[in-house]
A = this chain, B = another copy of it.
């Protein structure tokens, strides 16, 4: 293995999770310890911070505060949703990136994000190779959606899953308290993959779960849904918990959320969803005449660090750490993945997959884990997901409130 000396640059991208900063801590604390890494930089707002040359000097941060990053949700450096054009179409951004990389002698580049971010990371990696600029590029996975290809699961998913399952249990107890009926529709994030929505089923293991769960992996039929709800309501004296993914759609691919409103699109061409829970709640109320509540878990589900999975935090930290170790060992153009060694005694290995495969390939809940009625998941899901939410969370408090990291964020002189 050839030694490579130079600076390290880390960026965060895409939607926040509870543990994206745990990966940052892993990258930073490992990089600061590596003799071949001359300087550690953090990009402000991911790729945009590199283009604008807005870099934070991580060497000036207090290592104790970097430890606090493990329990600080969202992206401490700032995130971004910025789609790089293909270099063959327009290489302006790439030229600028290379210029900045050269200026700061960046020889290690780590990018933390989901599908779209791995696409960005892959494009940069390929461009740097083609430009013959030696730089080791490793992607660090992250997404509550759990839909990255090639890895058993993604950092961020388990903490959100624990929050969804815990909240479902708590809402179950709350909503079953009166002798009158109440149907609760809980809306969970996940545009195309239902992993997080399926996590509500973990509450069922404890007898406080969802009666009906709808994932975007299968088509949603409103009439069938109403029949399902009526059947449950008849059996339960109108008390039910229904959990739906924001991304459920009909057989023509139309989002059910669109049934009730117009839909805008973000810069990746994704429909801006939300509101499907409210729409379905209104429908149930109108047809059954019972009291209905829609609860959209919204941002809460992806930033609830106070309910994080200890195992998720540890793995997210290690993903960042291993990215640096692999890069130092000579690897590049890859993304860190988790490989589950065996099902019984949960254990994972940190391995690598080509960035090309990680980018833009979505991993969905296997259809054979979804029940025949398409309104729930079977025991396979719990076998998969339950090990991920284990461990005893040590969540630092100060005055009874979360103690989040305080970074100095000293900007590097341009």
Chain B residue at minimum C-beta to C-beta distance from A386:
B399
Contact B401 A202 (CB under 8 A): yes
> In the assembled complex, which residues on chain B have CB atoms less than 8 Å from the CB atom of A162?
400-401
> In the assembled complex, which residues on chain B have CB atoms less than 8 Å from the CB atom of A208?
404
Query: Any chain B CB within 8 A of the CB of A307?
Result: yes
Interface string of A44-64 (1 = CB under 8 A from B): 010010000000000000000
Report the separation of the CA atoms of residues A230 and B402 in the bound assembly, to the nearest whole angstrom: 30
Give A282 Cβ to nearest chain B Cβ, in Å: 11
Give A342 Cβ to nearest chain B Cβ, in Å: 18
Contact B400 A205 (CB under 8 A): no
> In the assembled complex, which residues on chain B have CB atoms less than 8 Å from the CB atom of A48?
179
Contact B404 A79 (CB under 8 A): no
Cβ contacts A to B, 19 pairs, < 8 Å: A45-B178, A72-B173, A73-B174, A74-B176, A78-B177, A162-B401, A170-B305, A170-B306, A170-B402, A171-B300, A174-B303, A184-B299, A203-B401, A206-B402, A274-B293, A295-B296, A295-B300, A306-B307, A386-B399
Query: Any chain B CB within 8 A of the CB of A371?
Result: no
Residue in B80, B174, B205, B278 whose CB lies within 8 Å of A299: B174
> In the assembled complex, which residues on chain B have CB atoms less than 8 Å from the CB atom of A309?
400
Total contacting residues, chain A, CB less than 8 A: 58
Report the separation of the CA atoms of residues A404 and B298 in the bound assembly, to the nearest whole angstrom: 25
Interface string of A376-414 (1 = CB under 8 A from B): 000000000010011110000111111010000000000
> In the assembled complex, which residues on chain B have CB atoms less than 8 Å from the CB atom of A293?
274, 298-299
> In the assembled complex, which residues on chain B have CB atoms less than 8 Å from the CB atom of A79?
177-178
Interface residues of A in 153-168 (CB under 8 A from B): 162, 165-167
> In the assembled complex, which residues on chain B have CB atoms less than 8 Å from the CB atom of A81?
178
Given known contacts A73-B173, A307-B307, what 20 new A-B pairs fall within 8 Å (CB)?
A72-B173, A74-B173, A74-B176, A74-B177, A79-B177, A80-B179, A166-B401, A169-B404, A170-B299, A170-B306, A202-B401, A205-B401, A293-B298, A293-B299, A296-B296, A306-B306, A309-B400, A389-B400, A389-B401, A390-B400
Query: Any chain B CB within 8 A of the CB of A117?
Result: no
Query: Any chain B CB within 8 A of the CB of A125?
Result: no
Chief secondary structure at chain A's binding surface: mixed
Contact A390 B399 (CB under 8 A): yes
Report the separation of the CA atoms of residues A274 and B184 in the bound assembly, to the nearest whole angstrom: 14
Query: Any chain B CB within 8 A of the CB of A75?
Result: yes
Residue in B73, B169, B305 whose CB lies within 8 Å of A402: B169
Give A33 Cβ to nearest chain B Cβ, in Å: 27
Report the separation of the CA atoms of residues A394 and B1 in the bound assembly, to the nearest whole angstrom: 49
Interface residues of A in 226-281 (CB under 8 A from B): 274, 278
Query: Any chain B CB within 8 A of the CB of A304?
Result: yes
Contact B303 A299 (CB under 8 A): no
Using A177-B74, A295-B296, A299-B295 as known contacts, say yes or no to A401 and B169 having CB atoms under 8 A apart: yes
Report the separation of the CA atoms of residues A175 and B15 in the bound assembly, to the nearest whole angstrom: 10
Query: Any chain B CB within 8 A of the CB of A39?
Result: no
Residue in B169, B178, B278 whose CB lies within 8 Å of A80: B178
Query: Any chain B CB within 8 A of the CB of A11?
Result: no
> In the assembled complex, which residues on chain B have CB atoms less than 8 Å from the CB atom of A203?
401
Give A43 Cβ to nearest chain B Cβ, in Å: 12
Report the separation of the CA atoms of residues A298 and B307 in the bound assembly, to the nearest whole angstrom: 18
> In the assembled complex, which residues on chain B have CB atoms less than 8 Å from the CB atom of A304?
167, 170
> In the assembled complex, which residues on chain B have CB atoms less than 8 Å from the CB atom of A298?
293, 295
> In the assembled complex, which residues on chain B have CB atoms less than 8 Å from the CB atom of A171?
299-300, 303
Give A373 Cβ to nearest chain B Cβ, in Å: 25
> In the assembled complex, which residues on chain B have CB atoms less than 8 Å from the CB atom of A166?
306, 401-402
Chain B residue at minimum C-beta to C-beta distance from A302:
B174
